[in-house]
Chain A
Amino acid sequence: MSEDKKTTAIDLKNLKAGGFIKERGKDLFTVRLRVPGGRLPVERLKKIAEVAGKYCQGNVHLSVRQSVELINVNFKDFDAVVAELGEGDQRVASCGARVRVPTACGGCEYNPNGLVDTQKSALEVDEKLFGTPTGHHKFKVSFAGCPFDCPKSATNDVGFQGAIWPELNMDDCIGCGLCAKSCSDGAITLDDNKRPVFNPDHCTYCGDCVKVCPTEAWQAAKRGYTVRIGGKWGRYPLVGTLYATFLPEEQAVPFIAEVLAWYNEKAEGRGRVRIGDIILQEGPESLLERLRSKFPESVVEATIPPQVISTQIGTRSIPQ
């Protein structure tokens, strides 16, 4: 090697959590930005636009997980991109076998369907667990504010869905019937005296009855997250199944940490395998037990393995 051979100086610490993804073209990378819950302060968005204008080639890409991705960035510009984004408090996201940036819907602050503060939860998870190496495969978390589930939470490794358990105080009921009319799931019917009858087996915890009730006769007796585990998409999709109901919002981070600990142990030596595939092999009981010991108030009695979605192409095989 000749002595005047130029080498590029790059701060490798910036690459630790990933977020720099090789592109097709020589020297070019995508820089994935960290935007938990998909909410961006306008000032940060302006900073991103400024940096993109300087280092991209005319476009950015909006990822399916609510990130802005700077595309066509030359790897020699990594340090400058990171430094200039940092001036606007914008950080780079993660990729690979790590806890990814959580996604979330708008949540309860402005979305009339929202039952819980998904944006707050997404920020907490991002702050506490972002980039944690799983030792195995990617690990995705998502927060939906209500059972509409716009973020498709159950297709994540851990998916949270806002929920409330309604309770009727009959003394305050005026028999208007709005609750029965509002209930999409047939969980409220009216008796002969036009009084609501609650059929809990049909309730999906959406809270529409509480929201429409003119006299506040319907109240939220419990509020929190419905939690599903083991979902994924990709070549061999799985839909996660139920592990907890009405998990208090402040327990989302410790709950995920416990799931991660189980994943870490059980997937030992298996290489690149998602938690849903591990549960398919192991059965859900040991994870359920472990979670029950920590979150006895919220963990369900029993659950089922992740639900296999047939894509009709290829054959699922799980590393042993």
Chain B
Amino acid sequence: MKTIDLRGVSCPTNFVKAKLALELVETGGQVEFLLDDGEPVKNVPRSLKAEGHKLLGLKETEGYYTLTLEKGEE
């Protein structure tokens, strides 16, 4: 699974970077995003859901979060 590290990237750049990364993934493919605590983990998952991707889970690792998702229809 592809991992996109969005730590240290603030809103809305992190979301736009996530979108760009998802352009290279086939529909149904899984990706994980590493997100900082605070605004990024609050905002990015919700925005990706609103774009039609399927959120699969969120895992806390030392000081950051790993969001797993399945790419939705183009």
A contacts, CB < 8 Å to B: 112, 174, 176-178, 181-182, 184, 208, 211-212, 214
Contacts and interface: CB of A to CB of B under 8 A. Distances in A.
A178 B42 CA distance: 8
B57 A182 contact: no
Interface of B: 41-42, 45-47, 49-50, 54-58, 60, 65
A184 B56 CA distance: 22
Counting from the closest, the 3 A-B pairs by CB-CB distance are A214-B55, A212-B46, A176-B57
Nearest to B56: A214
Given A181-B41, A181-B65, A211 B49 contact: yes
A182 B42 CA distance: 5
B46 A174 contact: no
A182 B46 contact: yes
B50 A181 contact: no
A181 B42 contact: yes
A208 B45 CA distance: 11
A174 B47 contact: no
Contacts of A112: 46-47, 50
Given A214-B54, A214-B55, A214-B56, A178 B47 contact: no
A212 B57 contact: no
Nearest to B65: A181
A93 B74 CA distance: 45
B50 to A, nearest CB: 6
A286 B44 CA distance: 46
7 contacts: A177-B60, A181-B42, A182-B45, A184-B42, A212-B46, A212-B49, A214-B49
A214 B70 CA distance: 11
A182 B41 CA distance: 8
Nearest to A175: B57
B64 to A, nearest CB: 12
Given A181-B41, A181-B65, A176 B46 contact: no
B55 to A, nearest CB: 3
A188 to B, nearest CB: 12
Q: Which of B42, B49, B55, B58 has the most CB of A within 10 A?
A: B58
Nearest to B46: A212
B41 to A, nearest CB: 6
Contacts of B58: 176-178, 181
Contacts of B56: 176, 214
A212 B55 CA distance: 9
B46 A208 contact: yes
Nearest to A184: B42
B54 to A, nearest CB: 7
Contacts of B42: 181-182, 184, 208
A176 B55 contact: yes
A214 B45 CA distance: 9
B57 A174 contact: yes
Contacts of A214: 49, 54-57
Contacts of B55: 176, 178, 212, 214
A112 B55 CA distance: 17
Which of B46, B47, B54, B56 neighbours the largest number of chain A CB atoms within 10 Å of its CB?
Answer: B46
